[in-house]
Amino acid sequence: MEATTMEAQIIDGKKVAKEIKAELKEKVEALKEKGVTPGLAAVLVGENPASQTYVRSKAKACEKIGVYSEVIRKPADISQDELMSIVRNLNSRDDIDGILVQLPLPKHIDESAVTNLIDPKKDVDGFHPFNVGRMLLGYPTFLPCTPAGIVELMRRYKIDPSGKEVVVLGRSNIVGKPVAIMLMQKGEMANATVTICHSRTAHLADVLRRADILIVAIGQSEFVKGDMIKDRVVLIDVGMNRVPDDSTEKGYRLTGDADYEACRAKASYITPVPGGVGPMTIAMLLSNTIKSSENRVKKE
């Protein structure tokens, strides 16, 4: 899919996610023929609207491709012990292949203790230290969903990072660090020279302008301007920011971490917000769940 005009080609995450779900549906049907239905359990604590929307989207996506989905809703004042008990129970259930505890959790809960308790074989978010360690070493494992979605988008648009200068803006454990690790590995859709930038990076715009591929994940609306990128860069925008806007029915609009219109005029490829990286996160979560289910079949 070559870009043919000066205006960037849009990387359509919705379209790619739809293709992936169609492929996964076939895998689910093959598993069901063997008497196995993949199962995903989501634990939702509290009333965070973004978390509720996300978990609802996951359940809906599961239903569409035939994956069993279970949402366990608990109030924000749940005790650490009760939450740990829920995770232990899900670890022991044969009908559940994937467990995710929706973050963020209330402040009185120790997030790392909960994440570390999830059975690594069911850690379809790819957050358990066991799976993070395997990812770092380049071993097969569950990869975190958003970074895996970014790499899959690049694969399907034939954007090969090998030998390219990749700059990642953001150093979170969920996106920045893992996508940097994945792209610097030896292997297919990797072999890049990777720089991670963050709030303490000196001469930030100069570093960003070096990027052949720029991945932006800092959670600041339209932070990256057109004069901060070089011509023909591939720009992957992971941001999803709600900006107040009285002219819309909802009273807000969604923006990325890059100034879309200004950057689109210079980039060769760009992800829109919404409809770019976001749909891929759920597609890769489903992919990890089905992989876990396939692993279960191999062991039986």
Q: Give residue 295's pLDDT.
A: 93
Q: Give residue 76's pLDDT.
A: 96
Q: What is the pLDDT of residues 34-75, one digit of tens each?
A: 999 999 999 999 998 888 888 999 999 999 999 999 999 999
Task: Answer whether residue 3 shows pLDDT above 80.
Answer: no
Q: Which one is predicted more confidently, 213 or 242?
A: 213
Name the 3-class secondary structure at 164.
Answer: coil
Do 35-119 and 144-277 fold alike per CATH?
yes
Topology of the domain comprising 144-277: Rossmann fold (3.40.50)
Catalytic member of 12, 102, 177, 266: 102
Catalytic member of 12, 97, 123, 125: 125
Q: Residue 246 — pLDDT band, cuts 50, 70, 90?
A: confident
Q: Give residue 220's pLDDT.
A: 96
Whether omega for the bond prior to residue 104 falls within 30 degrees of 0, making it cis, is yes
The lowest-confidence range among 96-100, 144-148, 249-253 is: 249-253
Please name the residue that has the structure tokens 């492929």.
23
Which CATH code is given to the segment(s) 35-119? 3.40.50.10860
Mean pLDDT throughout 91-117?
96
Please name the residue that has the structure tokens 């395997």.
134
Q: What is the pLDDT of residues 191-200, one digit of tens each?
A: 999 999 999 9
Q: Give residue 300's pLDDT.
A: 66
Q: Give residue 208's pLDDT.
A: 98
Whether omega for the bond prior to residue 49 falls within 30 degrees of 0, making it cis, is no
Share of residues in the chain with pLDDT > 90 (%): 88
Task: Answer whether residue 28 shows pLDDT above 80.
Answer: yes
* Angle between helix 278-299 and helix 13-33 axes, rounded to 10 deg: 20
Q: What is the pLDDT of residues 201-233, one digit of tens each?
A: 999 999 999 999 999 999 999 999 999 999 999
Q: Residue 2 — pLDDT band, cuts 50, 70, 90?
A: very low
* Highest-scoring range by mean pLDDT, 3-7, 226-230, 250-254: 226-230
Share of residues in the chain with pLDDT > 70 (%): 98
Beta strands of 136-285 (E only): which ranges? 165-169, 193-197, 213-216, 234-237, 241-244, 252-255, 269-270
Whether residue 58 lies in the annotated active site: yes
Q: What is the pLDDT of residues 163-175, one digit of tens each?
A: 999 999 999 999 9
Mean pLDDT throughout 163-190?
97
**Both structure tokens of 118:** 């999830």
Mean pLDDT throughout 183-196?
98
Q: Give residue 82's pLDDT.
A: 98
Please name the residue that has the structure tokens 């690790």.
181
Indicate the domain borders of the chain. Answer: 35-119, 144-277
Task: Answer whether residue 4 shows pLDDT above 90.
Answer: no
Q: Give residue 7's pLDDT.
A: 83
Q: Give residue 196's pLDDT.
A: 98
Catalytic member of 21, 27, 58, 266: 58
Q: Quote the pTM value.
A: 0.94
Whether residue 77 lies in the annotated active site: no
Contact criterion met (CB below 8 Å) for 217 and 172: yes
